[in-house]
Amino acid sequence: MIRTVSMLPAATEIVGALGLMDQLLAVSHECDYPEEANHRPRITSCEIHGKGLPSTEIDGWVSERLRTHGTLYTLDEEQLRGLAPDLILTQRLCDVCAPAYGSVAALAETLPSRPRVLNLEPKSLGDVLRCVADVAAAMGHAEKGLDLCRTLELRIARVVERTRGRPRPTAFVMEWTQPIYNAGHWNPELVRLAGGLPALSPEGEYSIRVPWQELRATNPEVLVIACCGHVVDRTMQDIPALEALPGWHELRAVQDRRTYVADGTVYFSRPGPRLVDTLEMLACILHPGIFEEQFSARDIVRVY
C-alpha cells in the first residue's frame, strides 16, 4: 500500500473516484469530498478559512498574504513527520489552491520516509485526465486510472456529440465577483466543449481580473457566476453588489434570463473528475431542452 497524503481537494477527489481512500492518511483543511475525506486528519490550515468574510476582504487578504508570506497555508509539519507518507499529492498551478509547492518539496526532503511529491498542474481537461492516470499509477493502481479515464472520456464525447452543429451562445464564467475575475484554465475549454463560445477567457490561461466595462461591452448571452470556494447560497450574497454596477440590468444575459449562480466549490474550480459534471452542467445551461435537468438548487440556480 502506498501511504498517501493529499494537500489538494482535487487530488482527494481523484483518490476517491479511484476507490483508493484506504491509502489516504491525511488531507488538507479544504478537502471535503468524498465524505470519507472528512474523517481524515487535516494536514494544513488557513487563517481565514470558514470565517465568512466579504469577497472584497478575502481578495485583499489573499493578495497581502501572498505578498508578505508567499503562501496562504500553514503545514502541520509534526503531524506529517509522524504519518511517514510514501506519496504527497499537491500542485504548483495556483498559490491560492494549496501550500506553496517549493515549501512542500523542501519539507518532503527532510522527512525520514522521503516521500515522492507528485505535482498536479492541469490547465486543460486533457491534463486533468492525465492527472487521474498519474495519481493512479503513483498509488500503485494504474489500471484503475485507465478505467476511470475511459468512463470520463465517454461522458465528454457524449456532450460534444449532442451539441454538434447547434448555435453556440457566448458565455462568461465568473470566478469572483468583487473584483470580477474570469474563470480561466480549463473552464473556457469546458464552455467550448459544451457548445458555447467562451467570452473574455482564453483557453489554458490563468484566471485574471476583468474590468466591468469590458464585460459590459462584451455583453455575453449567458453568464455563470461560480465563485471559487463558494457554495450557491454564499455567492448569492454577492449578487446585490453586481446589481449595483452601472448597466448590469442591461446585460443580454440578465434581460434574457440566462444568468446563473453555480456551486464553485463542487464545480468549475477543482480540476478533478467532477469537472465532467461541470461540462454536463454547462451543456444544460447553454442548450436547455437538449439535456435532461440533473442538478439541484444546491448546485445551480437561475437568478434572472
Q: What is the per-residue pLDDT across 196-231, written as a single tens digit (0 to 9) for each?
A: 999 999 999 999 999 999 999 999 999 999 999 899
The verdict on 132 and 191 lying in the same domain is: no
15 within a domain of the structure (yes/no): yes
155 within a domain of the structure (yes/no): no
The verdict on 136 and 237 lying in the same domain is: no
DSSP state of 42: B
- Residue 51, pLDDT > 90, answer no
Average pLDDT over residues 27-54: 84
CATH number assigned to the domain comprising residue 110 = 3.40.50.1980
Angle, CA of 257, 258 and 260, to the nearest 5° = 110
Q: What is the dihedral of CA 51, 57, 63, 64, to 10 degrees?
A: -90
pLDDT score for 103: 75
The verdict on 12 and 100 lying in the same domain is: yes
pLDDT score for 140: 97
- Judge contact between 14 and 273, C-beta under 8 A: yes
The overall average pLDDT reported for the chain is 90
- Residue 23, pLDDT > 90, answer yes
Q: What is the per-residue pLDDT across 97-134, written as a single tens digit (0 to 9) for each?
A: 556 677 787 788 888 889 999 999 899 999 999 999 99
The verdict on 198 and 123 lying in the same domain is: no
The verdict on 17 and 90 lying in the same domain is: yes
157 within a domain of the structure (yes/no): no
- Residue 67, pLDDT > 80, answer no
The region of weakest confidence among 92-101, 177-186, 220-229, 275-284 is 92-101
40 within a domain of the structure (yes/no): yes
Residue 240's domain comprises: 169-302
CA dist 87 → 61, 191, 296 (Å): 31, 34, 36
Q: What is the per-residue pLDDT across 232-269, written as a single tens digit (0 to 9) for each?
A: 999 999 999 999 999 999 999 999 999 999 999 999 99
- Judge contact between 24 and 40, C-beta under 8 A: yes
The verdict on 214 and 85 lying in the same domain is: no
- Residue 95, pLDDT > 70, answer no
pLDDT score for 94: 54
Say how many CA atoms lie within 13 Å of 277 toward its Cβ: 19
CA dist 203 → 28, 106, 181 (Å): 28, 32, 15
pLDDT score for 248: 97
> Closest Cα to residue 226, out of 165, 287, 184, 164?
184
pLDDT score for 220: 98
pLDDT score for 47: 63
> Closest Cα to residue 3, out of 152, 127, 140?
140
Say how many CA atoms lie within 13 Å of 180 toward its Cβ: 22
The verdict on 17 and 139 lying in the same domain is: yes
Q: What is the per-residue pLDDT across 124-138, written as a single tens digit (0 to 9) for each?
A: 999 999 999 999 999
The verdict on 285 and 196 lying in the same domain is: yes
The verdict on 60 and 142 lying in the same domain is: yes
Q: How many domains does the chain have?
A: 2
pLDDT score for 143: 98
158 within a domain of the structure (yes/no): no
34 within a domain of the structure (yes/no): yes
Cell of 200: 473574455
49 within a domain of the structure (yes/no): yes
The verdict on 95 and 184 lying in the same domain is: no
The region of weakest confidence among 24-28, 145-149, 275-279, 290-294 is 290-294
- Residue 65, pLDDT > 80, answer no
The verdict on 130 and 199 lying in the same domain is: no
Average pLDDT over residues 146-165: 96
- Residue 2, pLDDT > 60, answer yes
156 within a domain of the structure (yes/no): no
pLDDT score for 93: 55
The verdict on 289 and 189 lying in the same domain is: yes
